[in-house]
Amino acid sequence: MQAQSSPTPAAQQKNAAILLIDDDEDILSIFKNSLKAAGYSTYGFINPIAAFEHFKQNPKAYQIIITDVRMPGMSGFELVKEIRRINPDVKIIMTSSFEMSMNEVERVLPSLKIDVFVDKPVRLAKLNDIVKNLVR
């Protein structure tokens, strides 16, 4: 009987699941399709409250969460705060197309333990590289 080898980093990357939350359907679709093409499992929501309800039911299902900052009903900051209460280990990428002051970033982001902050628009190759580095 042959011993099974552990998965290679590429195989582990392919198995990584990503939860995407953005109220802009076009951006959500573009991110989702790009990450799927790179071999990741993706699940997306345009409604952050629905995304959080889904996450509460599946707190260990995702290795990475990518969320926008400003969304109706629940901001990305509020969403991350709630997610961190449930799973403090999940990697979080926060995106924003609105200019944020450094004061706001320094005050809010460190307390939420965001892994990466990305300004939109973001090149898809850059987003894929960020995800690849977080999955390692």
d(CA 77, CA 68): 9
Average pLDDT value over all residues in the chain: 86
Q: Is residue 60 part of a domain?
A: yes
Q: Is residue 132 part of a domain?
A: no
The domain tally of the chain equals: 1
Length of the chain as a residue count? 136
Structural domain including 54 reads 10-122
CATH code of the domain in which 80 resides: 3.40.50.2300
Q: Is residue 73 part of a domain?
A: yes
In a 10 Å sphere around its CB, with 0-12 CB exposed, 13-18 middle and 19+ buried, how is residue 34 labelled? middle
pTM of the predicted model, to two decimals? Answer: 0.85
Q: Is residue 22 part of a domain?
A: yes
- Is residue 2's pLDDT more than 80? no
Q: Is residue 2 part of a domain?
A: no
Q: Is residue 83 part of a domain?
A: yes
Summarised one tens digit per residue, pLDDT across range 78-107 is 999 999 999 999 999 999 887 665 466 667
